[in-house]
């Protein structure tokens, strides 16, 4: 499916998208127009304005006051389906600075890290704000999200995207410019989500901030990163045995007797590594299964768990 996003997508905030499906469409709502070819256009409704397509214009007033899930016809005679965008749809079509965490991985992160209402969560880096939106929804108004980002331009894009989605900038969201490894604040946290190039550099700082039983979750793209963060967590000894997973998403085509996998499967996007923080002074219990012979060969230069010789 091809996504075409209107320039109106970057307009100022309207009514919050977080409450999709509530009442008729109104000025300030953002809607997605789906054309017959599956292309999507994001539009911020404003009385008296029109959205122009290659197939003619669509008056915003034809949508304002009516329900979502309706068909609206352009002046060129083409019908478009109008729906408020879902979070998953918004995150893959919004303006980006850095690459976004895709919905399938955001869903895995929320479950693997056990994000709950009222949780105190730290994330790094904030990127374009896609994961921040999912985390803010999950922690609710009683939770707190501390988002660290090294690049100011990325932080600005993320703040704009999050504000556009919720309609206002969440009061329980703090965006901090800096390096998590050296600039992590003094606040204790329940969960730590790291989406960055070298999450192993942040393990000592995160370990100091995480409450006992808290969850460490790293999202990495390559097997090299996967191995490095797993071994660093083991060598620290203050975490449970890390778990590494990968998820893929495969759509299916169903029409009559033609039931088959879709052609556009979403394969590898990243790995998740999770571990639980142990209480102060407690070290990880010894592993029952020893590393395979040669697992730490002469060319291995990374950290080694206790008891594994060089």
Condensed to tens digits (0 to 9), the pLDDT of residues 227-281 reads 999 999 999 999 999 999 998 888 898 989 899 988 776 677 889 999 999 999 9
pLDDT at 307: 65
Residue 131, annotated as binding a ligand: yes
Least reliable range by pLDDT among 162-176, 187-201, 277-291: 277-291
Mean pLDDT across the chain: 87
Residue 195, annotated as binding a ligand: yes
Domains of the chain plus CATH, in order, are 7-85 (3.10.330.20), 89-276 (3.40.50.150)
With 50 as the cut, is the pLDDT of residue 7 above it? no
Q: What is the DSSP string of the chain?
A: --B---GGGGSPP-S-GGGTT-SS--TT-EEEEEPTTS-EEEEE--TT-EEEETTEEEEGGGTTTS-SSEEEE-TTS-EEEEEPPPHHHHHHHS--SSPPPPHHHHHHHHHHTT--TT-EEEEE--TTSHHHHHHHHHH-TTSEEEEEES-HHHHHHHHHHHHHHHSS--TTEEEEES-HHHH--S--EEEEEE-SS-GGGGHHHHHHHEEEEEEEEEEESSHHHHHHHHHHHHHH-SBPPPEEEE--B--EEEETTEEEE-S--B----EEEEEEBPPTT--PPPPSSPPPTTTT-TT--S---TT---
Residue 243, annotated as binding a ligand: no
Residue 190, annotated as binding a ligand: no
pLDDT at 3: 41
Going by pLDDT thresholds of 50, 70 and 90, the confidence category of residue 9 is very low
Condensed to tens digits (0 to 9), the pLDDT of residues 116-136 reads 999 999 999 898 999 999 999
Residue range 85-99: mean pLDDT, rounded: 84
pLDDT at 194: 97
Residue 130, annotated as binding a ligand: yes
Residue 257, annotated as binding a ligand: no
């Amino acid at each position: 499916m091809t996504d075409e996003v209107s320039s109106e997508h970057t307009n100022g905030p309207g009514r919050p998208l977080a409450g999709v499906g509530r009442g008729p469409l109104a000025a300030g709502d953002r809607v997605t127009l789906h054309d017959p070819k599956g292309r999507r256009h994001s539009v911020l409704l404003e009385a008296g304005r029109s959205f122009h397509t290659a197939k003619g214009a669509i008056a915003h007033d034809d949508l304002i006051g009516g329900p979502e899930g309706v068909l609206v016809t352009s002046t060129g005679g083409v019908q478009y389906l109008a729906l408020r965008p879902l979070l998953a749809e918004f995150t893959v079509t919004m303006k980006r600075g850095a690459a976004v965490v895709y919905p399938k991985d955001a869903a895995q992160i929320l479950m693997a890290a056990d994000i709950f209402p009222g949780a105190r969560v730290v994330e790094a880096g904030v990127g374009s704000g896609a994961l921040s939106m999912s985390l803010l929804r999950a922690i609710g108004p009683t939770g707190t999200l501390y988002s660290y980002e090294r690049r100011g331009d990325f932080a600005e894009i993320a703040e704009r995207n999050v504000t556009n989605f919720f309609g206002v900038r969440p009061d329980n969201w703090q965006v901090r410019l800096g390096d998590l490894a050296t600039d992590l604040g003094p606040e204790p946290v329940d969960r730590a989500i790291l989406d960055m190039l070298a999450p192993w550099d942040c393990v000592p700082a995160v370990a100091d901030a995480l409450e006992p039983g808290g969850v460490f979750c790293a999202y990495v793209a390559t097997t090299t990163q996967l191995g490095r963060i797993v071994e660093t967590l083991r060598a620290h000894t203050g975490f449970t045995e890390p778990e590494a997973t990968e998820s893929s998403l495969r759509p299916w085509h169903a029409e009559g007797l033609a039931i088959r996998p879709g052609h556009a499967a979403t394969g590898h996007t990243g790995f998740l590594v999770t571990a639980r923080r142990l209480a102060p002074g407690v070290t990880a219990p010894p592993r029952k299964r020893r590393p395979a012979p040669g697992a730490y060969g002469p060319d291995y230069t990374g950290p080694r768990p206790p008891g594994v010789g060089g």
